[in-house]
């Protein structure tokens, strides 16, 4: 979820980060907000543990306090997805707004962490615990903002729907089914995904930007498999399955897919070229002026991997059955992040050509969901800019394409324009540990995100 280094901006704020924050919420409110985040983080919603019903029961109670009264819990596999609706107070006839988050988290080995991963704690201005960044701060901040609205004079002019999925980190069947079999439950004019954006600032007060995900790459895994007759290792032959697989993977490593641009990446690069007067900004500006220039595209890709083209990389490998036997089979997984609009069949054909006649390439189950970029929504961007200004006046709002995968790929694919929007922010260059060790989020960023979500929703869904 963190923004990449090449998207860093040199826009200077006039005062330090700590000084541009809005006045903090009352201590009692802050304690209440922290307590809910703690409860949610300490439910270990990891695949296979059976903890999702406990979190859903908690969220149903919290959402009831936010005015939601229509709940649908849909089991799938070994998990569940929650869909809920709050009807408009003064219906305007405009379509519903879908609010997205995921409830599941990546597993964590307690032996690797300094403290138990599912033990919430506060340290040096951060909240720590597995999933606090990805995506439980977004989930909790969204729920708390909805509760604030319900407790105020807020009157919605359109329905609000929440889609909280239970397997975003694994199979993504919650989003896949919501966008297909359960489509009538999430029918909306626009979707805001708390898992797809957010801000980045420097400790000296400069603001990188707050980023809105308009697009994401297609996720696809391909199996490379070489097979032959094997035999005794004392009589080696040229048709060795491990060598054949190694040659195929080497060809993938050397291959460069053609560079591409779409509306999301062009908008990102245009903003970068406008605000970065250094070498990278000049390089980007030169490439935008001459987008067919291979050399400039390659330089940008070297500095910003994954943004200019499809990328494929070997991620798993296995082979052989005994140390003293020629291998009868060897196989590897190649993970591809495919530039939007590129057919997966085209990538499969390219990989098979690279692998050669002795290695079979097949696309693995669960791969290939894709969508076109969502259009830039000027009204939404203006509302987000106004909300972010509560804490960071004049922060740039930057569209981008994500190289990683979120549930938005399915809602976009179902025809719902979806925007990855986050209320939290990070300190540029400081790790947050998402999917890694000692995951953490700035405490002020979590509490500030509630302000941002409340303001944004009051603008886009409030009766006018």
Res 217 pLDDT > 60: yes
Cβ neighbours of residue 448 closer than 8 Å, sequence gap 6 or more: 21, 22, 390, 391, 423, 424, 425
Average predicted confidence (pLDDT) for the chain? 91
**DSSP secondary structure, 240-307, as one string:** -HHHHHHHHHHHHHH--PPB---HHHHHHHHHHHHH--SHHHHHHHHHHHSTT-HHHHHHHHHHSTTS
Q: Once rounded to an integer, what is the mean pLDDT over residues 409-415? A: 95
Distance of alpha carbon 108 from alpha carbon 44, whole angstroms:
10
Query: Residue 18 pLDDT > 70, yes or no?
Result: no
Rg of the chain over all Cα atoms, to the nearest angstrom: 24
pLDDT at 208 over 90: no
**Beta carbons within 8 Å of 320's beta carbon, 6+ residues apart:** 241, 242, 327, 328, 330
The whole-number average pLDDT for the span 435-462 is 96
Q: Would you state the pLDDT for residue 15?
A: 31
The alpha-helical segments, DSSP class H, found in 116-240 are 137-151, 173-178
Which two tokens mark 389? Answer: 């200004």
Per-residue pLDDT, 238: 87
Task: Identify the pLDDT of residue 310.
Answer: 96
- Is the predicted pLDDT of residue 325 greater than 80, yes or no? yes
Percent of the chain with pLDDT over 90: 81
Q: Identify the pLDDT of residue 431.
A: 87
228-281 pLDDT tens trace: 999 999 999 989 999 999 999 999 999 999 999 988 899 889 887 887 778 888
455/385 Cα distance (integer angstroms): 10
Q: Is the peptide bond before 135 cis (omega within 30 degrees of 0)?
A: yes
Residue 9 has pLDDT above 70, yes or no: no
User: Cα-Cα-Cα-Cα dihedral of 18, 22, 25, 30, to 10°?
Assistant: -40
Res. 16: pLDDT tops 50: no
- Flag the least confident range among 97-106, 143-152, 153-162, 259-268: 259-268
User: Taking residues 357-368, what's their average pLDDT?
Assistant: 92
State the Cα angle at 2 between 141 and 30, rounded to 5°. 25
Q: What is this structure's pTM?
A: 0.88
* Res 19 pLDDT > 50: no
Calculate helix-pair angle for 279-289, 263-275, nearest 10 degrees.
130
Least confident of 36-45, 137-146, 389-398: 389-398
The set of residues, in sequence order, having a beta carbon less than 8 Å from that of 40 and lying 6+ positions away, is 55, 58, 136, 139, 140
Whether pLDDT at 35 is above 80: yes
Taking residues 412-428, what's their average pLDDT? 96
> Do residues 205 and 13 lie in contact, with contact meaning Cβ atoms separated by under 8 Å?
yes
Distances (CA, A) of 1 to 192, 369, 401: 15, 20, 11
Write out the H or E segment, with its range, that includes residue 20. Answer: helix 17-20
pLDDT at 113: 93
- Predicted confidence at residue 26, as pLDDT, reads 67
Q: Quote the pLDDT of residue 14.
A: 31
Q: What are the tokens at 357?
A: 């006649």
């Amino acid at each position: 979820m963190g923004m990449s280094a090449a998207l860093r901006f040199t826009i200077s704020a006039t005062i330090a980060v700590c000084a541009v924050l809005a006045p903090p919420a009352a201590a009692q409110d802050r304690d209440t907000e922290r307590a809910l985040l703690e409860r949610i983080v300490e439910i270990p919603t990891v695949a296979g543990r059976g903890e999702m019903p406990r979190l859903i029961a908690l969220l149903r109670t919290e959402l009831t306090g936010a005015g939601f009264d229509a709940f649908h819990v849909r089991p799938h596999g070994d998990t569940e997805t929650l869909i809920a609706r709050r009807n408009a107070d003064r219906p305007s006839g405009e379509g519903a707004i879908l609010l997205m988050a995921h409830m599941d988290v990546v597993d964590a080995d307690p032996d690797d962490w300094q403290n138990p991963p599912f033990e919430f704690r506060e340290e040096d201005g951060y909240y720590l615990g597995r999933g606090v960044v990805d995506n439980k701060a977004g989930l909790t901040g969204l729920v708390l903002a909805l509760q604030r609205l319900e407790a105020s004079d807020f009157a919605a002019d359109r329905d609000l729907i929440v889609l909280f999925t239970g397997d975003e980190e694994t199979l993504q069947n919650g989003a896949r089914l919501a966008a297909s079999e359960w489509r009538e439950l999430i029918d909306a004019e626009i979707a805001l995904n708390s898992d797809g954006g957010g801000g980045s600032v420097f400790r000296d007060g400069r603001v990188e930007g707050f980023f809105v995900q308009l697009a994401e790459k297609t996720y696809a895994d391909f199996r490379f498999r070489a097979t032959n007759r094997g035999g005794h290792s004392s009589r080696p032959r040229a048709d060795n399955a491990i060598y054949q697989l190694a040659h195929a993977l080497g060809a993938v490593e050397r291959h460069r897919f053609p560079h591409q641009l779409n509306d999301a990446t062009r908008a990102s690069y245009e903003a970068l070229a406008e605000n970065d007067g250094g070498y990278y900004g000049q390089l980007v500006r030169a490439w935008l002026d001459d987008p067919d220039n291979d050399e400039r595209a390659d330089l940008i890709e070297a500095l910003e991997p994954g943004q200019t083209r499809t990328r494929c990389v070997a991620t798993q490998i296995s082979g052989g059955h005994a140390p003293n036997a020629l291998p009868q089979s060897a196989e590897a997984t190649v993970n591809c992040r495919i530039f939007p609009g590129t057919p997966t069949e085209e990538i499969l054909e390219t990989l098979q050509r690279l692998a050669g006649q002795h290695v079979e390439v097949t696309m693995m189950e669960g791969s290939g969901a894709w969508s076109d970029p969502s259009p830039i929504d000027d009204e939404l961007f203006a509302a987000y800019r106004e909300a972010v200004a509560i804490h960071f006046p004049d922060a740039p709002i930057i569209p981008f394409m994500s190289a990683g995968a979120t549930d938005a790929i399915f809602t976009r694919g179902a025809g719902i324009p979806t925007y990855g929007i986050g209320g939290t922010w990070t300190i540029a260059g400081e790790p947050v540990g998402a999917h890694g060790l000692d995951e953490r989020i700035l405490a002020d960023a979590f509490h500030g995100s509630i302000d941002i979500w409340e303001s944004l929703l009051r603008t886009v869904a409030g009766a006018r």
